[in-house]
Amino acid sequence: MMTRNLVLLLVLAGCTDPAQGTIVGNPGLDVLRLASGLDVRTDAAEVAVDQIVLRDCEGVATAVQVGATLDLVDGDGFDAPDGTFCEVEVRFAGDLTAQGVTTNGTASPVSLTLELQPAIMTGTAFTVGEDPLVIELAYPQWFAVAELVEGADGYEVGPGDPSHAGLVDRLVTGSAVFEDADANGTVSETERSENELAKGVRRPGGGR
């Protein structure tokens, strides 16, 4: 088990307003990842994150001030505070963009640009402390190539396209938080079935 090394510059806890209970820290061991679509390999993805807010089971909020664009493939890190929580909210500060290729034999380019609302994940009381977290945005096979707009340069979706709203809804209501027991920054099949801590209200299946 890996001991977390949290470098926190400011802690103001004990309030329900996350703007008044903010942690500013160095990039850490906890990461955000983007799940891949059906028959799609994601080669690059990033999103600007304002804050990651953790609420305990009494509604007391602590916000991790990220203020950066995070790589969702390589897994740029952040530092979550130690404690017992019931909810995690990711507040975005810009569009999510992702590029990849289809893997069904055509190797066609795929491009997503999504305007996101906050992603909220809830669970029964879970402890954050010794092991890192992985927040998986969306879920495996959360979209199919057939839902995208086919053009001369491959498949894409952006604001204004018919499937944009549905993909945004799946991502912000279908994400999940996992305990990363092996601290490798990814979600293994064992972790997916056994280490789910919180999830969005419309995430399929799951370990809780």
pTM score:
0.85
pLDDT of residue 178 exceeding 80: yes
Burial 157-188 (b: 16+ CB within 10 A, else e): beeeeeebeebbebbbbbbbbbbbbeeebebe
Grade residue 43 by pLDDT with cuts at 50, 70 and 90.
very high
Grade residue 206 by pLDDT with cuts at 50, 70 and 90.
low
Q: Which helix (H) or strand (E) holds 196?
A: strand 196-199
* Residue 17 vs residue 153, higher pLDDT: 153
β-bridge pairing 22-25 and 61-71: parallel
Q: Which residues contact 40 (CB under 8 A, 6 or more apart)?
A: 100, 101, 102, 103, 110, 143, 145
Residue 71 neighbours by CB distance under 10 Å:
17
Q: Which tokens in the block code for residue 39?
A: 């028959």
What is the reported pLDDT for 26?
A: 38
- As a whole number, the mean pLDDT across the chain is 85
Q: Which tokens in the block code for residue 200?
A: 């969005």
